[in-house]
């Protein structure tokens, strides 16, 4: 926020909540995959690594899709562009 001189308005807060939600969703899914491996008899370390390995690609793909979708909004200009820049 300070790097780009943005204000702490409602658009910024919605963006932060969105990022927190996406991070929490990814963490919950990673833990669920690890717990499933634990129930199958794997040790904790192996189950954690396997869960992370299985969730890595979907997390990266989701992140790249988000960036690809948000990039045009971040680079836009014209009417209402300031509100879109803050969300990104």
The domain ranges of the chain are 10-87
Q: What's the whole-model pTM score?
A: 0.65
pLDDT at 87: 59
Degrees (nearest 5) of the Cα angle 49, 54, 56?
90
pLDDT greater than 70 at residue 83: no
The single residue listed with the structure tokens 């008899």 is: 41
pLDDT average, residue stretch 43-53: 91
Query: Which 3 state secondary structure label does DSSP give 5?
Result: coil
pLDDT greater than 90 at residue 32: yes
pLDDT tier at 88, thresholds 50, 70, 90: low
pLDDT tier at 39, thresholds 50, 70, 90: very high
pLDDT above 70 coverage of the chain, percent: 83
pLDDT greater than 70 at residue 81: no
Q: Dump strand ranges (E) for the chain.
A: none
């Amino acid at each position: 926020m300070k790097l780009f001189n943005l204000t702490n308005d409602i658009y910024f807060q919605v963006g932060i909540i969105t990022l927190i939600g996406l991070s929490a969703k990814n963490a919950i899914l990673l833990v669920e995959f690890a717990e499933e491996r634990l129930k199958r008899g794997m040790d904790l370390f192996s189950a954690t690594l396997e869960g992370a390995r299985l969730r890595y690609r979907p997390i990266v793909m989701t992140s790249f899709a988000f960036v690809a979708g948000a990039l045009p909004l971040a680079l836009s200009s014209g009417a209402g562009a300031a509100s879109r820049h803050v969300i990104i």
